[in-house]
Amino acid sequence: MPSRAPLLTLLLFILAVMTSACSEKEFDPNDPQKSFGIAKEPYDDENYEIAVQRLGEFKARFPYSKFATEAELLIANSQFELGHYAESALAYEQFAKLHPHHPQVDFALFRIGDSYWKDAPEEIDREQEYTQKAITEWEDLIGRMPKSPYAKEARTLVAKGKRRIAESILFVARFYCKQEIYHACAFVSIQMADEFGEYADLRVEALNLGIKALDHVAAAKAKAPDSDKNLYFKSMTADEIKARADNFRRLLADYKSSLGKSKK
């Protein structure tokens, strides 16, 4: 009995060609509005892979149509829905740059940050580069369009992102102390306490770590003044390092006292 496989393959090929041909005929070169409606159908059906393709074809064929701008935004939305966040960030950036006065530019600016946020790890033991990128984009939105409803949500997420970065820096400080790399622990802890003072619990822990680490650095410096191990405090004497630790002790005591008063 002859195999039906070649016949089935041929039929599938013919069907694909016919489908493609019909698809090509859908766009009317004399009617951009109708053509845009056709291109938008996959997006409305949440078929985002096809939407990116069809809306891209529409843009190429009708680059000067008033619907081309909306097609750009829908392509960015489609990439976002597909989880292609690097692509969506770029698409939203281009949209905001090309159409700075568009009614939905605040949405595009928010989505740039949201695209980076989606790619940012929640785990504090991982690099927070994308968290910082998201914060930068959202702060740009807040600065440019403070009354936008998207700015309100951006403020909440900026606070959440900054807290995540602060926790990530403190995680690094803890690691250095645990590994007894005290000069690095002191440097990172003090930096974190200075830059993220709005998080009282984290600042108290950072100052405690910094003081502990400075005490170890001062002791090591007294034993081996010319050692290269204490990289961040190489130019300081043991007494100077000890004095800095004492300054941070006073700062921590005053800070805890102010926290206690604010709770009353």
Q: Are 203 and 171 in contact (CB under 8 A)?
A: no
Question: Which DSSP symbol is given to 224?
Answer: -
Q: What is the pLDDT of residues 187-237, one digit of tens each?
A: 999 999 999 999 999 999 999 999 999 999 999 999 998 887 777 888 899
Separation between Cα atoms, residue 77 and residue 50, nearest integer Å: 13
Q: Are 142 and 151 in contact (CB under 8 A)?
A: yes
CA distances (Å), origin 125, targets 84, 118, 130, 171, 201: 24, 17, 14, 7, 18
Helical ranges in the chain per DSSP H: 5-26, 32-44, 48-61, 67-81, 85-98, 105-119, 129-144, 149-178, 182-195, 200-223, 238-263
Separation between Cα atoms, residue 225 and residue 236, nearest integer Å: 9
The helix/strand/coil state of 47 is coil
Is pLDDT larger for residue 103 or for residue 6? 103
For the segment 55-73, the average pLDDT, to the nearest whole number, is 96
Is pLDDT larger for residue 242 or for residue 25? 242
pTM, two decimals, is 0.83
- The CA-based dihedral angle spanning residues 184, 190, 191, 196, taken in that order and rounded to the nearest 10 degrees: 140
Token reading at 169: 């820096």
CATH of 83-168, one of 3.90.850.10, 1.10.1240.10, 2.130.10.10, 1.25.40.10: 1.25.40.10
Separation between Cα atoms, residue 191 and residue 213, nearest integer Å: 13
Q: Is 90 left (phi over 0), alpha (psi -120 to 50) or beta?
A: alpha
Whether residue 50 is predicted with pLDDT greater than 70 in this model: the reply is: yes
Separation between Cα atoms, residue 188 and residue 171, nearest integer Å: 10
Name the residue ranges covered by the structural domains of the chain: 31-82, 83-168, 180-264
